Amino acid sequence: MHHLSATLFLIVLALVAGCANNRHAPERPTVPPLPEGLRDGQKFLEYYPDASKRAHEQGRVVAKLQIGPSGALDLPIQIDSNLTDAAPRLEEAVRKILRGWRFEVGDKYKTNVTASIVFELEPCGTVTQAPTADYRLNLCLDPSPWATFNFAAHPPSEFEEQIHAILIHGDLADIDFLEETLGLRFRVTRPVPSPYSSGDDHALHVLVTPTTVPKTVKVTGLGFESQAGAHDRRIFRLAFIPVQCPDIAMWAARWKIPSSSSQDPHGIASFTAIQWSKDHGIKVSAVYQHGGCQMSLSQSRGSGEPYSSHTDGGLISATPLLRGIGFIVASGDIRDVARAERALYARFTTSGPGAFGVNYELQNIIAGVDPVSFEYSVNDTGMEPSPFGAFIAQPPMPADRTARFRLVIDTYHLCMRRAQLPSELHRRGVRFRRQSKDGDDIYLIRAKNQIRVRSSMFNGCIRDVDIAQVTDVKRSLAKR
């Protein structure tokens, strides 16, 4: 028992002695606060040498600082050559920036510190700071609003991550990867003559038509194409309209790559583009207009065609589409949206009336129809823009009330023969007058409304059906 008491006494004595020692242990010096005027590197952009800007010089300068008894820095300021990767002009700029500042002094502050100062052109964040430096300043000439944006508080959206994955993959001709990444599904042909080619482009193409569309992009305006380019190259392009327009300048700032922007001289639209990698990388472009936007991914590559593991040569029955078109025309008024939806097993939506009528967007794929050129519009305003009115401030002018419905058909998977369309109109009791112009067939139906159906052919199949209407013909004639 006596032995146990002695042991406890020694333990308590050691603890008390330790506490006493800790109470009197000197504090380790800390880094003195950075003078307030030095905390924002952007205030010192005037020190970025003009010669360095012209020569595109950027980089990191690490300075060794000795703080004197008064708080002033001992001169000359020394540069740590092992951690510095900038040109001598930028080293001299750092000496000018730091000269004349005073730091707090005292026993609790270090007198030997280091400062890492980064000079950047555009974008910000491409040059790394010295991780062991006591102070870090950034001088960046990037004028974008994203130069000081807190990206950590605004993580990328799923759509941004999908586009980023495509850019990293770097092959816009890989249809399988596009489908997997974006949640799309395409109907893909083997190399065939293109129904859209013009001029001297007689090369074979792989035709790609969407069949399934994710929620991130709209059906209308979605398409993939390959075009013959210069020097035996081919240009691949994926075009789409996002449901929510992103700011791709912000994407570029997050990815630390430059972006370019321009404004339409008439103030109608603005344009922003990103080039991912200079050597045949993918270009991301966006056109912002009227509160919406259109985007595209394009790439120039060596001659070749898109790769797909599921080329499809099977035909879709033309009967449902043919009967749907006949039903719309036979109604005598193509403005009836509900009837058009029933006829084509489709859904249409609109953002509301505009200055010159209503434009409808396609919400789902119509079997055998390429949505890239889909159009459905109704103008019951009785007005239209004056010639060049989109570019010059001119008042609108009186016009017919009109409507238009246009379908571009995937002729390699749905073949509607020339004779089938007039046969369907006859079957429905539609009286029409037939004309031919520039190789196209035109069917004129005259009643209260005047309807003109124009069909274009390719390889013996109808490629394009364009239905145009003048509403209430007598009223339109009386107004003239």
Predicted model pTM: 0.71
Tokens of 438: 């520039």
The pLDDT mean for the chain works out to: 88
Backbone angles phi, psi at 387, to 5 degrees: -55, 130
- One-letter amino acid at 243 equals V
Residue 445 inside a domain? The answer is yes
Tell me: do 135 and 200 sit in the same domain.
Answer: no
In b/e form, how buried is each residue of 418-430, taking b as 16+ CB within 10 angstroms? eebbbebbeeeeb
Tell me: do 213 and 267 sit in the same domain.
Answer: yes
Residue 12 inside a domain? The answer is no
Q: Number of folded domains in the chain?
A: 3
Burial bucket for residue 471 (CB in 10 Å: 0-12, 13-18, 19+)? buried
Tell me: do 82 and 159 sit in the same domain.
Answer: no
pLDDT reported for residue 197? 74
Angle at 333 between CA 327 and CA 336, to 5 degrees: 80
Q: What is d(CA 299, CA 275) in angstroms, rounded to the nearest whole number?
A: 10
Tell me: do 83 and 127 sit in the same domain.
Answer: yes
CB 29 within 8 A of CB 134: no
Q: What is d(CA 133, CA 83) in angstroms, rounded to the nearest whole number?
A: 10
Residue 50 inside a domain? The answer is yes
Tell me: do 187 and 102 sit in the same domain.
Answer: no
Residue 434 inside a domain? The answer is yes
With CA atoms as reference, report the closest residue to 223 among 198, 240, 243: 240
Tell me: do 188 and 287 sit in the same domain.
Answer: yes
Tokens of 71: 């708080």
Tell me: do 458 and 339 sit in the same domain.
Answer: yes
Residue 41 inside a domain? The answer is yes
Block means of pLDDT (10 residues each) for the chain, 480 residues, are 49 49 65 90 89 91 94 93 93 94 92 94 82 91 75 92 96 96 94 80 85 93 86 89 93 88 79 88 92 92 87 92 97 96 95 89 94 93 74 73 96 96 97 94 95 96 97 67
pLDDT reported for residue 134? 94
Residues whose CB falls within 8 Å of the CB of residue 234, separated by 6 or more in sequence, listed in order: 226, 227, 228, 300, 301, 302, 303, 304, 305
Tell me: do 190 and 117 sit in the same domain.
Answer: no
Residue 20 inside a domain? The answer is no
pLDDT reported for residue 5? 53
Of the residues 271, 302, 333, which one is the last residue of a structural domain? 302
pLDDT reported for residue 60? 95
Tell me: do 285 and 338 sit in the same domain.
Answer: no
In b/e form, how buried is each residue of 313-331, taking b as 16+ CB within 10 angstroms? eeebebebbbebbbbbbbb
What domain range is 232 assigned to? Answer: 153-302
Tell me: do 294 and 332 sit in the same domain.
Answer: no
pLDDT reported for residue 25? 55
pLDDT tens, residue by residue, 370-419: 998 899 999 999 888 876 655 455 678 888 999 999 999 999 999 999 99
pLDDT reported for residue 274? 94
pLDDT tens, residue by residue, 434-452: 999 998 999 999 999 999 9
pLDDT reported for residue 279? 73
Tell me: do 337 and 467 sit in the same domain.
Answer: yes
Residue 392: count other Cβ atoms within 10 Å of its Cβ: 9
Residue 309 inside a domain? The answer is no
Tell me: do 161 and 136 sit in the same domain.
Answer: no
